[in-house]
């Protein structure tokens, strides 16, 4: 299939041109191996209060239900590892939230890539996804050879660790697929050992209902008291399992200006966080992923940590 191979090679070149660090390609098909895992995960209640995870079960596993006539899933990796971390780490936010909301930034890159594909290869039917639809992006990333799924449930790339966003194009273009890569976690349990809430279970299973990222972002109710002394000062998201991962010694700083730390946030002290007003929150985080937790949620997280016994 010379055309399929050429299509794959060209898409990878265009993806690099747009700014994606890696690009892997899979044949669109039902994710048979993921189906029982997803079902067990939901049945065990590991999704906590994220009821939306129970919806669109078949759609999560079958790309053709998202894009009729789908032939190919293009998995894309966009680096967000910062050159510098926040100066004041008394209260911490996840690295992916330092700059502008990745949903917008990466989605725009996907649209640009689709435009270039049509310009260089021809008209296609398809859609771009950036954590924006029921699609098992990590499973597709692993299938496409971008990386393997680590014990913490995140995709790990051998050349660059795990500090990257995933995005997908589901298209009706015939492409030559890549091979899945080997799992290089070995006997390492660094992420499991470091998780203060014991959210990382065996067999690459995450109990999201105990994950600090879930507790500070997805959970809309009060944070359970059992986590009072386990938050490690995280007020939005958490990077612990990634920070301790040996593969992240290969992380390289991104060159996406929109992901740079806002100077105002970079100089925030613990007192600044404690005294933040709704007006300041709106001005600082209108284009940030942090807006997801809303002002009330961020205040809840800060107060939960400040009021420790």
User: Is 108 among the residues known to form the active site?
Assistant: no
77 contacts 157 by C-beta, under 8 angstroms: yes
Tokens 């293009």 label which residue?
74
What DSSP string describes 287-302?
A: TSGGGGGHHHHHHHHH
Identified catalytic residue from 108, 131, 172, 266: 131
The CA–CA distances, whole Å, from 95 to 65, 120, 256, 260 equal 33, 35, 13, 10
Q: Phi and psi (nearest 5°) for 218?
A: -75, -40
Q: Do you know the residue count of the chain?
A: 309
| Residues catalogued as catalytic | 131
């Amino acid at each position: 299939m010379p055309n399929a191979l050429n299509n794959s090679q060209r898409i990878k070149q265009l993806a690099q041109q747009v700014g994606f660090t890696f690009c892997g390609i899979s044949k669109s098909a039902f994710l048979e191996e993921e189906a029982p895992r997803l079902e067990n995960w939901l049945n065990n209640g590991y999704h906590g209060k994220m009821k939306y995870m129970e919806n669109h079960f078949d759609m999560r596993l079958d790309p053709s239900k998202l894009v009729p006539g789908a032939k190919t899933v293009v998995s894309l990796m966009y680096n967000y590892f910062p050159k510098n971390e926040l100066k004041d780490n008394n209260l911490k936010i996840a690295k992916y939230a330092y700059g502008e909301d990745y949903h917008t930034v990466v989605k725009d890159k996907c649209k640009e890539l689709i435009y270039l594909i049509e310009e260089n290869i021809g008209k296609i039917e398809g859609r771009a996804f950036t954590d924006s639809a029921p699609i098992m992006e990590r499973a597709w990333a692993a299938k496409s050879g971008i990386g393997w799924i680590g014990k913490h449930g995140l995709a790990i790339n051998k050349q660059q660790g795990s500090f990257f966003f995933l995005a997908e194009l589901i298209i009706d273009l015939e492409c030559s697929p890549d091979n899945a890569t080997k799992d290089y976690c070995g006997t390492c349990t660094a992420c499991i050992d470091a998780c203060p809430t014991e959210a990382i279970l065996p067999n690459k299973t995450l109990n999201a209902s105990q994950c600090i990222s879930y507790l500070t972002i997805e959970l809309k109710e009060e944070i359970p008291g059992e986590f009072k002394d386990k938050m490690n000062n995280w007020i939005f998201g958490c990077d612990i399992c990634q920070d301790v991962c040996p593969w992240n010694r290969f992380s390289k700083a991104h060159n996406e200006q929109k992901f740079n730390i806002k100077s105002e946030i970079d100089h925030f002290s613990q007192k600044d966080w404690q005294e933040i007003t709704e007006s300041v929150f709106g001005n600082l985080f209108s284009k940030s992923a942090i807006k997801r937790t809303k002002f009330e949620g961020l205040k809840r997280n800060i107060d939960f940590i400040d009021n420790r016994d």
